[in-house]
Amino acid sequence: MTNQESSNNYAIYVQGELSERWAQWFDDMAIAPEPERNVTVISGRLSDQAALHGLLNRVRNLGLTLIAVQKIEDEIE
Amino acid sequence: MLLQTKLFVPPAADALVPRPHLLERLNAGLKGKLTFVAAPAGFGKTTLIASWLNDSNFDRKVAWLSLDEDDNLPQQFYRYVAAALQPLTDSPLQLHQLAKADQPVSSKSFAKVWVMDALTIEEPFLLVLDDLHVIDSSEIYEAITFLLEHMPPQMHLAITGRADPLIPLSRLRARRQMTEIRAADLRFETAEIQTFLQFLSLEITLDQAELLNQRTEGWAAGLQLAALAMQSPTADKNRGRFIQSFAGNHRFVIDYLTDEVLRGQPLATEAFLLQTSLLERFNADLCAALVPDADASTILQTLERANLFLVPLDDQRNWYRYHHLFADLLRQRLSERFSAEDINHLHGHATAWLAEHDFVDEAIHHARACGHWSDVSAAVTRLGTKQINHGLANLTSGWLNQIPDEVVRKTPGLAIDKAWLLYMEYRVDEMVPYLEAAEKEKDDLAHVGETAVMRTFYLLMKGNIEDARRQAEAMCEQLGNSFPAETGGLRVVLGNAYEAMGESEKSGVAFTQAAEELLAGENWMGYSAAIVFLIRHHLEAGRLNEAYKVGSQFMTRYSSDARLQHGGGAQAVVYYALVLFERRDNSALQFVAEQVEQALELTKLMMPDIAVVIWMNLTLALIKQASGDQIEADELVRDAADRLNAIDQNQTMFVYYELFVRYYLASQQHENAEILMGQLAELDLPESNPVASLHQLHQVELLLQKGAPPAELETALTRLKSLNEPVIKLRAQVLTVLIQHQLGHSEEALESLELALEMAASQGWVAIFDTPVGRMIELLRTVRPTSSQQPFIDCILNALDKTANEHKSSKIQVDGVVLEQLSERELEVLRLVAEGYSNREISERLFLAVGTVKRHLNNINSKLYASSRTQAVARARELGLL
């Protein structure tokens, strides 16, 4: 696997609170609402850029407001 | 099959808050080029545009196209754009032709044709591209960008989407040529919210409306859901409390509201909504296929009245879809509540119904989801071949590419189409496994016949003439009279086989019958091909009159039948043009030449078969050269030579060499002729090959043109006597006349000429006497008083004189003043030439065919008495025209 394409953990922040039932919609990513900040974090492993864009597309299709996208670096053992 | 629903202008939603300020902006924006409305799902973009169009003050013609993911395939996109624009004009759009292309068309070509077609629409109009965000094809965005740069003034483009369109907007923005409407503009204000709810008989106070605004942020979809939730029988009747609770609840708005709305529906309706949500578009019938127990039409009516996100797709209220956002939510709920197996079944029902009703593309969607291909296979089997025969091969190809290969190989009806498509792309060896798969079906006679056509064509291509003939004859007998399309195809094979075996008469009969049958069987492509073979057959046998009859009959059909105006039909037109050329039928030739030129432009954009373009170029070049357009003719030949160099040289290409040589000799380009003739000699063709005789003919002609010594010419005379094929004999005779005259044997020359005239008169071979060298006109005048062919001589002289005059007028060299003014258009062209643009670039900038540009340059040259671009520009500058 090349550097660019190796799978990574991502955290996508959207506005509002989404319940866990939406996990299936987002390919079994973890859905964690944070009520105090009125955001929800959708997180999990994505295999490559294409997967990331697919996910962002789904966010858009649902009319959710995208706040941030973060790559979570793998911890070095 | 085109989905008319994609072209349907949505009606204005009834319960809509009027937004006059937005409408004003939209109307004002019509002065510019582009309007775009970009906002996330559920903001009311489409609703806004729809209410704009349905407003009584709006008076433009409208073309609407609702896009979906399938439209990323450029060919599909062009089809729908063409279909959307066609109702706006009486002239048939050229976009339709592009859409039928067998290979990808460049975005530039498409865009140019798009602009040209737009120019034919006279009244101001609006093209709406709805949901453009589903398009991620860079080709399509390039085309749209080009369109915006060259947009005709009467056109305005409106785009809606969830993302900013991928076209460079900064320039349009800077020049104030576009109107942007964004989420912020679309959000509802508190007062508007109150009005909206009041309209639905939901009274709320301004404070409550303000709270609702905060919660939904003025989002149209959220507000609609809120309204529905409030109307739901299970909702709290106390409005204030309801809004409070909903506002106080921390769950995501749409999550909450959808559940509220669904909870308020009768169970049957809820089940209906969930199950039908996996359909893109539906009518009551299709819904019933998925949910058999439900009373689909009543439920749909109820849903529409309740304004439950049902979007009508036509006037008759047959077809609907769910609002995208709502559909997404329903699908999510569906996957929660139903098992994967049940959902699979739903897809299965969907694909079955859609396939049965010929909605193949959508059927394929669902088949992919559930892996059930039998219904799709049946539909494609039913429709695929017909589509190919009607010139829409790329559509069938698109379908087959989406169906898994194992399914194609297992289904004879699909395998045969795949084999045809591969054959059309010259991928002959690849087609064998599919052909064998197709041959497994032995009961369906039509299919067996079709397979036999394919098989015998294959045998022909492989040089297996005897087997091809035998099998084709046997199959024709077996099929009898009931399968004209199939027997027609077989007879084309037979025609070719007989020809290869030297049985000329049988060949002609076969081709004639083939044409009749293919026409009766509605195989337009096959019919055109049969005509090509037939004309060529008569031409080579010297029967110019017959060729003319066939050609002119075809031409009459072709000019009035759009179905024939496909690449295949164009080839037949070119052969007809060649016939007219030989007869020097100048007025008819003028008309046909224009048709050929048009067809050539489009064919260059479409055909994968480069050989056809070479052929068309060369024929057109001969015609142009004969009517004095030397410059254009040379350009065409240069283009043909480039193309020939670009493809693999193989044995069959020698046919084109012949045409090239003929052209070079006709324009006395000796060097070029010699190079090619050398290459031809290297191919070492057998004596029996007709091109071998032509080669001999050319060699003699070259001797004559270069002024060979008498001894060589005498030898040449003997060689000429040995040539016996029908038309070649005639050409040889004409050369004999010229050589004898050259050698000083005047009496013999005149005798030979009389003989030549006798040979040529009955069939009307006129062009043969238009020789580039020698005093043919003088000789004809000399022999006339005593000739038995006076009417024919007059005919020839008439035709030749005209051309001679045209030659003269373009060659006058006079020192002096410009006698004719350059026209506006000519000045335009000349200016661009002065700036260093090539003909191609000029044709793009002025939206002319390249040929027209050259015509203008010709006129310019003759008006300015210049013989080159450089000279013309220099003269024009001298005269102060530039």
* Nearest-CA distance B250 → chain A (Å): 7
Name the pLDDT band for B804 (thresholds 50, 70, 90): low
The percentage of chain B sitting over the pLDDT mark of 90, rounded to a whole number, equals 34
Residue in A13, A17, A42, A64 to test binding to B, most B beta-carbons within 10 Å: A17
Predicted local confidence at residue A75, as pLDDT: 61
Residues of B in contact with A21 (CB under 8 A): 255, 336
Cβ of A62 within 8 Å of Cβ of B163? The answer is no
Among candidate residues B653, B608, B657, B607, the one with its CA nearest the CA of residue B637 = B657
Predicted local confidence at residue B818, as pLDDT: 44
Name the pLDDT band for B107 (thresholds 50, 70, 90): confident
Query: What's the token pair of residue B858?
Result: 């010709």
Look at residue A40 and tell me whether its pLDDT is greater than 70: yes
Whether B182 has its CB under 8 Å from any CB of chain A: the answer is no
* Least confident segment among B372-386, B485-499, B521-535, B839-853: B839-853
Name the pLDDT band for B506 (thresholds 50, 70, 90): very high
Taking one residue from A and the other from B, the number of pairs with CB-CB distance under 8 angstroms is 46
Q: Give contacts of B 25-44 with A, CB under 8 A.
A: 40-42
Length of chain A: 77
Arithmetic mean of pLDDT, B212-218: 82
Arithmetic mean of pLDDT, B294-311: 83
Whether B72 has its CB under 8 Å from any CB of chain A: the answer is no
Residues of B in contact with A65 (CB under 8 A): 40
Do strands B310-312 and A66-72 pair parallel, antiparallel, or not at all (unpaired)? Answer: unpaired
Arithmetic mean of pLDDT, B383-392: 80
Among candidate residues B317, B228, B221, B326, the one with its CA nearest the CA of residue B279 = B326
Predicted local confidence at residue B566, as pLDDT: 58
Look at residue B590 and tell me whether its pLDDT is greater than 80: no
pTM of the model: 0.69
Q: Which residues contact B281 (CB under 8 A, 6 or more apart)?
A: B3, B5, B313, B319, B320, B321, B362
Query: Residue B38: helix, strand or coil by DSSP?
Result: strand
- Residue with the bigger pLDDT between B237 and B515: it is B515
The sign of the torsion formed by the CA atoms of B6, B9, B12, B17 equals positive
Contact B336, A21 (CB under 8 A): yes
Cβ of B255 within 8 Å of Cβ of A61? The answer is no
Contact B419, B392 (CB under 8 A): no
Residue in B45, B132, B187, B252 to test binding to A, most A beta-carbons within 10 Å: B252
Arithmetic mean of pLDDT, B113-142: 91
Question: Which of left, alpha, beta for A63 (phi over 0: left; psi -120 to 50: alpha)?
Answer: left
Predicted local confidence at residue B449, as pLDDT: 93
Cβ of B252 within 8 Å of Cβ of A18? The answer is yes
Look over chain B and give the mean of its residue pLDDT values, rounded to a whole number: 85
Arithmetic mean of pLDDT, A41-50: 88
By C-alpha distance, the chain A residue nearest B216 is A16
Distance of CA B192 to the CA centre of its chain: 49
The 10s digit of each residue's pLDDT in B58-91 is: 889 999 999 998 898 888 898 899 999 999 988 7
Task: Select the residue of A16, A24, A25 nearest B253 (Cβ to Cβ).
Answer: A16
The 10s digit of each residue's pLDDT in B447-494 is: 999 999 999 999 988 888 999 999 999 999 999 999 999 999 999 999
Contact B347, B362 (CB under 8 A): no
- Residue with the bigger pLDDT between B614 and A44: it is A44
Distance CA B662, CA B581 (A): 14
Whether A28 has its CB under 8 Å from any CB of chain B: the answer is no
Do strands B61-66 and B320-322 pair parallel, antiparallel, or not at all (unpaired)? Answer: unpaired
Query: Residue B193: helix, strand or coil by DSSP?
Result: helix
The DSSP code sequence of B791-815 is HHHHHHHHHHHHHHHHHHHTT----
Whether A36 has its CB under 8 Å from any CB of chain B: the answer is no
The percentage of chain B sitting over the pLDDT mark of 70, rounded to a whole number, equals 90
Predicted local confidence at residue B545, as pLDDT: 93
Task: Select the residue of A19, A25, A62 nearest B251 (Cβ to Cβ).
Answer: A19
Name the pLDDT band for B140 (thresholds 50, 70, 90): very high
Residues of A in contact with B162 (CB under 8 A): 60-61
Predicted local confidence at residue B250, as pLDDT: 39
Residues of A in contact with B161 (CB under 8 A): none
The 10s digit of each residue's pLDDT in B625-665 is: 877 778 888 888 988 888 777 665 554 556 677 788 889 99
Residues of B in contact with A16 (CB under 8 A): 252-253
Look at residue B420 and tell me whether its pLDDT is greater than 50: yes
Do strands B125-130 and B34-38 pair parallel, antiparallel, or not at all (unpaired)? Answer: unpaired
* Nearest-CA distance B252 → chain A (Å): 5
Q: Considering only CA atoms, give the Rg of chain B.
A: 34
